Chain A
Amino acid sequence: MKISSYPKNGKYGKFGGKFVPEILMEAVNELEVAYYQAKKDNAFQKQLDYYLADFVGRPTPLYFAENLTRKLGGAKIYLKREDLAHGGAHKINNTLGQALLAKRMGKTRVIAETGAGQHGVATAIACAALGLEAEVYMGTEDCERQRLNVFRMKLLNAKVHPVNSGSKTLKDSINEAFRDWVTNIKTTYYMIGSTMGPHPYPMMVRDFQSVIGKEIKQQFTQKENRLPDALVACVGGGSNAMGTFYPFEDDLTVKLYGVEAAGEGIKTGKHAATLLAGNEGIFHGMHTYILQDDNGQIKSTTSISAGLDYPGVGPEHAFLKSLKRATYVSATDKEAVNAYLLLCKTEGILPALESSHALAYAIKLALNMDKTKTIIITLSGRGDKDVETIADFTGEKI
């Protein structure tokens, strides 16, 4: 059976599923039915394509990073420029799709969680464009380190609810969004921002994001008339990676690398490398890998990048790991910052700190690959939002 044919009954092998309170089951089932109908409906796809082209600016370029390639002297490096999508990240591919679906389902109010604020901003943009009411949950710690995004969301007419419970980061904002959803289920659409949560979310978000991989395939074929040798993307919840990988899942010659956040180093325990250092569990509606203690309590994570600071991971990544179809690796805060600085200098591009993790690993990979080989890195977002964090890390005053 083809890998890309999953999920079967909401499961990727043993991973995935719908582990949600009974109160949400009818809503999740209703969403599944609505999504399958929309997926088959040409009018829906056409409408989405229209917004992706004229509003988001797709296709995003596949850019040959010639300077970086020359500097490293290894494999040829291409960058998939999701940083150039409207809003500054790949997140808009998903929020537009889901906002169109929410409208189709007759929902008027949209709630979302956000870590770095990128999904929150993308939710606010899609809702403003389509006339939906948006409310975003964001951990107070994330609100602090991503102040600009909080203000951007407000400008875009979204209401931001700071979340002060637990670790005050992404996982807690998801908890609060779930609590809002059980309370306001009749009017409210929960717009999950990554390939995570109960089925159908991981599949639906992957489908909306797979425009990334489809474009890569087409663009690369035009440029080089073959398939790339390796795809590299960062993995928090895993949506930009899934969107990149999915159209290549059955092309077994293409190596897939998912890069997790090693924070201060996996050995220090201060990281967010779920697939590398976690184990199986049930969290946020899915059976997947999670970071947990000996008693099954969810651990807090550490990463310089708010968007990767999450103790779970999308179930399809857990599945690809179990099949050994994708390889999961990591990059530390320091490696990510160095990669950020390198891309700024060599290519004139500020990459998001999340994407800088992918870049950091790809640099190592390129050095060990022949010049005839090609690596494509998904630059999931732009790094303007991270300049204060970078200055802090390098000890410079702005």
Chain B
Amino acid sequence: MNTIKQVFENNHKNNKGCLIGYITAGDPTPELTPKIANALIRGGVDILELGLPFSDPIADGPTIQAANIRALKAKTTPPKVLKIAQKIKTKHNTPIIIMTYYNPIFHIGLDKFISTAKTHNVNGLIIPDLPIEEASHFKKTATTYNMDTIFLAAPSTSKNRLNKIINETSGFLYLISHYGTTGTKTTLEDSTIKLVQQVKTITDKKIPLAVGFGISQPEHIQKIIKAGADAAIVGSAFINIIQKNTNNSVTCMLNELEATAKALKTAITLESTTYT
């Protein structure tokens, strides 16, 4: 099984940036998620972020909110999400990260959830409403099970906090590109480029830097990779394709997902090559 670290190292050796793809597990159904994951991985997704749906996703915009609702309507539970992860892993070495809000994990119990996630071959966890100050028990438990803990940084994060966050995060640092919730944007703000450049000076040679929120098009990816990011995180763009195709044939949906992932990965590769 590849670890998150190995994936970054391998891509780095080949002068390539990573593509991290987010989907909500169980959207539109738990049965379809492994197929969607196959399509994304075939298209070039290096690390898969699987959302464990939550009823009240406060950091998410309308696209991912709707995906959460569809997944919950399809009766997607935490044990089902872990089974989905395990199923994907039978076919692929791709690292899988579970992204969810803190309550579902807290309710199950940190030890129980993380140990079960480990036996289901999950590599890491992202909990957007768990800042470092509240995360000591989580961090300790995750370390026991050799599970990566990916923390987020935001445009509002001070340098002092950023250094603390870098000490806690493992796998990579998840940088939020702009003030706002998740969701596709047509343009990439200039402030995002500056932010990536600034944060890179601090993460460089310490931890890979992945940038997410509002990243949906090859041009965005080229710009953030050029600015120094090691990875781009794309979510809502994939979910829009899932949503759009819920009433079409599954093949149609999967083909479009694969093609989109491929275009994004190509953008990363091109930019990395010209950059280095």
Q: Cβ of B103 < 8 Å from any Cβ of A?
A: yes
Say whether chain B's binding surface is mostly helix, strand, loop, or mixed: loop
Which of B78, B104, B158, B179 is within 8 Å of A184, CB to CB?
B179
Q: How far, in whole Å, are A285 and B130 apart by their CA atoms in the complex?
A: 9
**Chain A residues positioned under 8 Å from B77 (CB to CB):** 295
Contact yes or no, B56 A179, CB < 8 A:
no
14 A-B pairs with CB atoms under 8 Å apart are A18-B134, A19-B130, A20-B131, A21-B58, A21-B131, A165-B65, A178-B58, A179-B181, A185-B179, A284-B56, A292-B103, A296-B104, A298-B56, A298-B103
Contact yes or no, B78 A296, CB < 8 A:
yes
Chain B 47-90 against A: per-residue CB contact (8 Å), 1 yes, 0 no? 00000001111110100010000001000011000000000000
Chain A's nearest CB lies how many Å from the CB of B35?
A: 24
Which of B61, B104, B128, B153 is within 8 Å of A297, CB to CB?
B104
Q: Cβ of B9 < 8 Å from any Cβ of A?
A: no
Which of B106, B153, B161 is within 8 Å of A281, CB to CB?
B106
User: A: which residues have CB within 8 A of B?
Assistant: 17-27, 165-166, 171-172, 175, 178-179, 182-186, 280-285, 290, 292, 295-298
Contact yes or no, A23 B156, CB < 8 A:
yes
**Chain B residues positioned under 8 Å from A280 (CB to CB):** 106
Contact yes or no, A22 B151, CB < 8 A:
yes
Whether A166 touches B55, Cβ cut-off 8 Å, given contacts A26-B158, A179-B61, is yes
Which of A19, A182, A185 is within 8 Å of B102, CB to CB?
A19
Whether A296 touches B107, Cβ cut-off 8 Å, given contacts A22-B152, A23-B154, A165-B65, is yes
How many residues of B sit at the interface, in one of the four size bands? 35 or more
**Chain B residues positioned under 8 Å from A166 (CB to CB):** 55-56
Which of A19, A21, A175 is within 8 Å of B152, CB to CB?
A21
Q: How far, in whole Å, are A183 and B182 apart by their CA atoms in the complex?
A: 10
Q: How far, in whole Å, are A169 and B97 apart by their CA atoms in the complex?
A: 32
Contact yes or no, A17 B179, CB < 8 A:
no
The 4 closest A-B pairs by CB, nearest first: A296-B107, A296-B104, A23-B154, A297-B55
Contact yes or no, A26 B134, CB < 8 A:
no
Whether A295 touches B78, Cβ cut-off 8 Å, given contacts A22-B157, A23-B176, is yes
**Chain A residues positioned under 8 Å from B78 (CB to CB):** 295-296
Whether A283 touches B152, Cβ cut-off 8 Å, given contacts A18-B131, A184-B179, A186-B179, is no
Chain B 108-134 against A: per-residue CB contact (8 Å), 1 yes, 0 no? 100000000000000000001111011
Contact yes or no, B180 A183, CB < 8 A:
yes
**Chain B residues positioned under 8 Å from A182 (CB to CB):** 59, 179-181
Contact yes or no, B56 A171, CB < 8 A:
yes
Q: How far, in whole Å, are A191 and B130 apart by their CA atoms in the complex?
A: 22
In this complex, the member of A20, A182, A296 whose beta carbon has the largest number of chain B beta carbons within 10 angstroms is: A296
Contact yes or no, B56 A25, CB < 8 A:
no
**Chain A residues positioned under 8 Å from B161 (CB to CB):** 25-26
Which of B58, B104, B156 is within 8 Å of A26, CB to CB?
B156
**Chain B residues positioned under 8 Å from A171 (CB to CB):** 56
Contact yes or no, B180 A296, CB < 8 A:
no
Chain A's nearest CB lies how many Å from the CB of B71?
A: 11
Chain A's nearest CB lies how many Å from the CB of B190?
A: 16
Contact yes or no, A296 B108, CB < 8 A:
yes
Whether A183 touches B179, Cβ cut-off 8 Å, given contacts A21-B152, A297-B72, is yes
Q: Cβ of B241 < 8 Å from any Cβ of A?
A: no
**Chain A residues positioned under 8 Å from B180 (CB to CB):** 182-183
Contact yes or no, A25 B131, CB < 8 A:
yes
Chain B 229-271 against A: per-residue CB contact (8 Å), 1 yes, 0 no? 0000000000000000000000000000000000000000000
**Chain B residues positioned under 8 Å from A183 (CB to CB):** 179-181
Q: Given A27-B156, A281-B106, A296-B107, list of 19 further CB < 8 A pairs?
A: A18-B133, A20-B129, A21-B131, A23-B176, A26-B161, A182-B59, A182-B181, A183-B179, A185-B179, A282-B103, A295-B78, A295-B104, A296-B78, A296-B104, A296-B105, A297-B54, A297-B72, A298-B56, A298-B103
Q: How far, in whole Å, are A20 and B158 apart by their CA atoms in the complex?
A: 16
Which of B58, B156, B179 is within 8 Å of A175, CB to CB?
B58
Q: How far, in whole Å, are A284 and B180 apart by their CA atoms in the complex?
A: 17
Contact yes or no, B105 A283, CB < 8 A:
no
Chain A's nearest CB lies how many Å from the CB of B119?
A: 19
Q: Cβ of B165 < 8 Å from any Cβ of A?
A: yes
Q: How far, in whole Å, are A292 and B72 apart by their CA atoms in the complex?
A: 14
**Chain B residues positioned under 8 Å from A297 (CB to CB):** 54-55, 72, 104
In this complex, the member of A19, A171, A283 whose beta carbon has the largest number of chain B beta carbons within 10 angstroms is: A19
In this complex, the member of A17, A295, A298 whose beta carbon has the largest number of chain B beta carbons within 10 angstroms is: A295
Contact yes or no, A19 B107, CB < 8 A:
no
Contact yes or no, A179 B58, CB < 8 A:
yes
**Chain A residues positioned under 8 Å from B72 (CB to CB):** 297
Contact yes or no, B179 A23, CB < 8 A:
yes
Chain A's nearest CB lies how many Å from the CB of B178?
A: 9
**Chain B residues positioned under 8 Å from A298 (CB to CB):** 55-56, 103
Whether A175 touches B56, Cβ cut-off 8 Å, given contacts A25-B156, A282-B102, is yes
Q: How far, in whole Å, are A283 and B134 apart by their CA atoms in the complex?
A: 13
Contact yes or no, A283 B56, CB < 8 A:
yes
Whether A23 touches B129, Cβ cut-off 8 Å, given contacts A182-B181, A281-B103, A296-B104, is no
Contact yes or no, B107 A22, CB < 8 A:
no
B133's nearest neighbour on chain A, judged by CB, is A18
Q: How far, in whole Å, are A178 and B154 apart by their CA atoms in the complex?
A: 15
Q: How far, in whole Å, are A367 and B214 apart by their CA atoms in the complex?
A: 61
Contact yes or no, A23 B155, CB < 8 A:
yes
Contact yes or no, A21 B55, CB < 8 A:
no
Chain A's nearest CB lies how many Å from the CB of B204?
A: 20
**Chain A residues positioned under 8 Å from B103 (CB to CB):** 281-283, 290, 292, 296, 298
